[in-house]
Amino acid sequence: MQQIGEESIMKVLLSGNEAIALGAWEAQVQFASAYPGTPSTEILESLSQYAGVRAEWASNEKVALDAAAGAAFGGARALAAMKHVGVNVAADSLMSLSYTGVQGGLVVVSADDPGAFSSQNEQDNRHYARFGKFPCLDPSDSEEARQFTRLAFDLSEQFHCPVILRSTTRLSHSKSPVEVEMPQEPRAFEPLPPFERKPDWYVIIPATARRRHPVVEQRLLDVAQWSETAPVNRIEWGDRSLGIITCGVAYQYVREVLAGYSILKIGLTYPLPKQLIRQFAGQVDAVAVVEELDPFIEEQVRAMGIAVVGAEPVPRVGELTLAKVRQAALQAAWPVEPAPELVEPVDEVALPTRPPALCPGCPHRAFFYNLRRWKKNAVFSGDIGCYSMGVLPPFEAMDMLISMGASVGMAHGLKKAGSAENVFAIIGDSTFFHAGLSPLANAVYNQSKIIVAVLDNRITAMTGGQQHPGTGITLMGEEGKRIEIAPVARALGVEHVWELDAWDVAGINQALKAAMAVEAGPAVILVKGACVFTPYFHRRPVVEVDLETCTACGSCFRVGCPAILKSDETHPKSGRHKASIDPLLCTGCTVCLQVCPVDAIYQTGGSE
C-alpha cells in the first residue's frame, strides 16, 4: 500500500471486480444479488465482506435482478451482477424496468467475455442499453470501475432508470491501483422507510406501458444531453492528424500504441454525446474508432455522417490486445511503432497441450465412465458446469450444450420428436436450481421418456465454488435452508428417482440400465458426491498399482484421472505401458480400483 497526498487516501491494487464492489459500497448500496458466472463472480464475493450491505446468491440472474428491482422500488440502492449471458436470462425484467423506472438506484453489472475465455459466446452487451433505452457505463481500469459504479447509482436515481455498468474479463480480472479512503468507516444496515406506492410506474400493464414509453424516449434525450458535458467523456488532445474514439479497456491499448494522437474517451457508451463527437471530429483530420467486439460506437458515428477511416480494421472477433491494435493501425496506415521483434516459438520438440480435466477424486468421473459405455444407443444432452468436460476424451459423452438448464428441454424435444434412442439430460445441481426445474415440470407434464441425470456435487464448482439453494449456505456464510433434489423431483411428479453414491461405479451402471427400462415419463438419476474442493469431500488412503498383476490393459486410463500415469514398466507381450498412480494427486476415490478387471489396484493403509 502506498500513501498519496492526504493521509487518509491509500493506493491499493484492486481487481476490476473488487473495485466495483468498493464503488457500490461507497455509494451506500443496500442490497446486492447475483448468480455466479465468470468473469463477474468476485463482485458479490467481495461485496459480501463489507458491513451494512445485504449480499446474496440468487438461484439465477433473473431472480437476482427481480430482487434488486424490488429493493430499488422500495427506495434502496440495489445492484445485480452477472456475466454477459446472464443478462439474457434477466432480460425480460430488464426491458420492463426501463419502462417502470426506479426510486432507489438500480445498477446492473454485466461482465462481458471478449475472447470467450469461459463462456458460450462473445456477445457485446452494450447493445442491451440501446435495446432497452437506458444508460451504459464502460470503465477502463479499476479506479474508473470504482468511480463509474458510484456514478451509475447517481445516474439511476437522477433519471429513474436502470443503469448498466459494463465490465469485461480483462477489466474484471486485472488489478490496477485504486484510491481507497482509509480507514473505511463501518456502516450499519438501515431498514427502509414505508413503501411509497406508485402503481402508475411499477405496475406495467399495457395502459402503463403506453404512457411510460414517451417518458423512456425523453429520458434518453435527457441522458444524452447530460453526457455532452459529463466528465466521463473526455478529450485528450494530441496530434490532430488523427483522432481516435475509444472506450473501455480498448482505451488502454490505444493510449499505448497510438500515444500522442488525439483521443476521445467515451465513458458513457450509451447514449452517445453527439455534439462532443462532432466537435472532436471537426478538429481532427481523420477519425478512427477503436472498440472491442461490435462496431457499436462506430456505426452510430458513421450514421451521424462522420467519415471513419479504415474499413473496420479492428478485428470484431476475440479480445483486443496491444498487438491487434498495433496491427490494425499498421494495416490502416496510421503511423505507429512497428511490431516488436519476436522470439521463435519452440519447434525443436513437440509441446503437448494441457487440456482441463476432471480433478482426481471428482464425483463426476464414475458417472461419465459409465455413461460412455451406453453411447451406442443413446444421445447425451448436456449442460454447463465442470461436467461439460464430459465432452472431452476419454469420455466424449456429450452431444449438445447450449445454455444453462437447456439439457432437459432439448432432451424432451428430441424424444418427443420421435427419437428411438435413449435420451439423457445431464445437469449439475446449481444449474438444476438455476433453470432445470421448469423444464423438468414440462417433461413430466408432457410425459417424455427421458432420463435426467442430476450431478449433485453440493457446490457451483465451475465458477470456483459458490453456494446455492441445494447447499443451504448463504453468501454471507449463514446456515440457510437446504433444498434436497430428490424430493423436489418427486414433488414435480417424477415417478422414478434413483439416488446414488457418485463413486459407486457398478451402482451407477445399474441405475442407468434401470432408468432406460422405464416405460413412461421422465426418470431422474441423482448422483450424489461432493466436489473435492468442498469440506464434505472425504479423502481416503491413496491407491497403488501392483505392477506384477497389472496387464497394461488400459482400463484405468479410461477413467481420465490426472493421478493415473503411465509407468516406465511395459507389458512384455503388448509393449504397452502399465499404470502407476501419483500419490500426491490421488484422493483414494477408488474409481480406478473398481474398473480394474484384474484387481491390480489396491488401497494402501496410510496417508490419509
Partner 1 sequence: MDKMNFLFVGVGGQGVLTASDIAAQVGLDLGLEAKKSEVHGFAQRGGVVESHVRWAPLVGSPTCEKGTVDALVAFELLEAARWVDWLRPGGTVVVNTQRIMPMSVTVGDATYPASEAICEALERRAGRLVRVDGLTLAAEAGTTRAINTVILGALSAVLDTPAETWEEAIVRRVPAKYDAVNRTAFRMGREAVG
Residue 53 is classified by DSSP as: -
Q: Per CB under 6 A, does 384 bind ligand TPP?
A: yes
Q: Per CB under 8 A, does 326 bind partner 1?
A: yes
With beta carbons less than 8 A apart as the criterion, state whether 51 and 186 touch: yes
Q: Which is nearer to partner 1, 113 or 124 (CB)?
A: 113
Cα separation, 146 vs 18, whole angstroms: 8
Binding residue for partner 1, selected from 307, 311, 317, 350, defined by CB under 8 A: 350
**Shortest separation between residue 466's beta carbon and partner 1, angstroms:** 13
Residues in 276-335 at the binding interface with ligand TPP, rule: CB under 6 A: none
Cα separation, 392 vs 420, whole angstroms: 25
Residue 376 is classified by DSSP as: G
Phi then psi dihedrals of residue 254, to 5 deg? -65, -45
Helix, strand, or coil here: 332? coil
Q: Per CB under 6 A, does 430 bind ligand TPP?
A: yes
Binding residue for partner 1, selected from 194, 305, 352, 418, defined by CB under 8 A: 352
Q: Which is nearer to ligand SF4, 123 or 467 (CB)?
A: 467
Q: What character string, x for contact with ligand SF4 (CB under 6 A) and - otherwise, covers 402-441? A: ----------------------------------------
User: Which option in ligand TPP, partner 1, ligand SF4, none does residue 249 bind, with CB closer than 5 to 8 A by kind?
Assistant: partner 1
Counting every residue, how long is the chain? 608
Helix, strand, or coil here: 166? strand
Q: Per CB under 6 A, does 409 bind ligand TPP?
A: no
Binding residue for ligand TPP, selected from 262, 457, 467, 590, defined by CB under 6 A: 457
Binding residue for ligand SF4, selected from 81, 336, 359, 502, defined by CB under 6 A: 359
Q: Per CB under 6 A, does 131 bind ligand SF4?
A: no
Cα separation, 118 vs 341, whole angstroms: 31
Q: Per CB under 6 A, does 123 bind ligand TPP?
A: no
User: Which option in partner 1, ligand SF4, ligand TPP, none does residue 472 bind, with CB closer than 5 to 8 A by kind?
Assistant: none
Q: Which is nearer to ligand SF4, 415 or 468 (CB)?
A: 468
Sole residue written with cell 448436456: 382
Q: Per CB under 6 A, does 450 bind ligand SF4?
A: no
End-to-end alpha carbon distance in the chain: 41
- Enclosing H/E stretch for 354: none
Q: What character string, x for contact with partner 1 (CB under 8 A) and - otherwise, covers 44-83? A: ----------------------------------------
With beta carbons less than 8 A apart as the criterion, state whether 40 and 80 touch: no
Binding residue for ligand SF4, selected from 457, 463, 471, 590, defined by CB under 6 A: 457
Phi then psi dihedrals of residue 196, to 5 deg? -95, 110
Sole residue written with cell 458446469: 385
Binding residue for partner 1, selected from 472, 493, 521, 562, defined by CB under 8 A: 562
**Shortest separation between residue 484's beta carbon and ligand SF4, angstroms:** 19
> How far are the Cα atoms of 290, 410, 508, 519 from residue 513, in angstroms, in the given order?
56, 21, 9, 12
The closest alpha carbon to 592, from 548, 553, 561, belongs to: 561
Helix, strand, or coil here: 581? strand
Cα separation, 80 vs 65, whole angstroms: 5
Q: Which is nearer to ligand SF4, 244 or 563 (CB)?
A: 563
Sole residue written with cell 436515481: 157
Binding residue for partner 1, selected from 355, 418, 575, 605, defined by CB under 8 A: 355
Name 246's Cβ contacts closer than 8 Å, sequence gap at least 6: 254, 263, 264, 265, 266, 289, 290, 291
Q: Which is nearer to ligand SF4, 93 or 466 (CB)?
A: 466
Q: Per CB under 6 A, does 459 bind ligand TPP?
A: yes
Q: Per CB under 8 A, does 412 bind partner 1?
A: no
With beta carbons less than 8 A apart as the criterion, state whether 429 and 457 touch: yes
Binding residue for ligand TPP, selected from 20, 81, 404, 543, defined by CB under 6 A: 404
> How far are the Cα atoms of 447, 479, 569, 586, 602 from residue 580, in angstroms, in the given order?
47, 42, 9, 11, 12
Q: Per CB under 8 A, does 536 bind partner 1?
A: no
Residues in 140-179 at the binding interface with ligand TPP, rule: CB under 6 A: none
Q: What character string, x for contact with ligand SF4 (CB under 6 A) and - otherwise, covers 519-538? A: ------------xxx-----
**Shortest separation between residue 456's beta carbon and ligand TPP, angstroms:** 8
With beta carbons less than 8 A apart as the criterion, state whether 287 and 261 touch: no
Binding residue for ligand TPP, selected from 80, 180, 325, 462, defined by CB under 6 A: 462
Q: What character string, x for contact with ligand TPP (CB under 6 A) and - otherwise, covers 214-243? A: ------------------------------
Cα separation, 162 vs 552, whole angstroms: 62
Cα separation, 314 vs 327, whole angstroms: 9
Cα separation, 172 vs 474, whole angstroms: 23
Q: What residue ranges bind ligand TPP (CB under 6 A)? A: 35-37, 61, 83, 85-86, 89, 384-387, 404, 428-431, 457, 459-463
Q: What residue ranges bind ligand SF4 (CB under 6 A)? A: 358-359, 362, 364, 386, 457, 461, 531-533
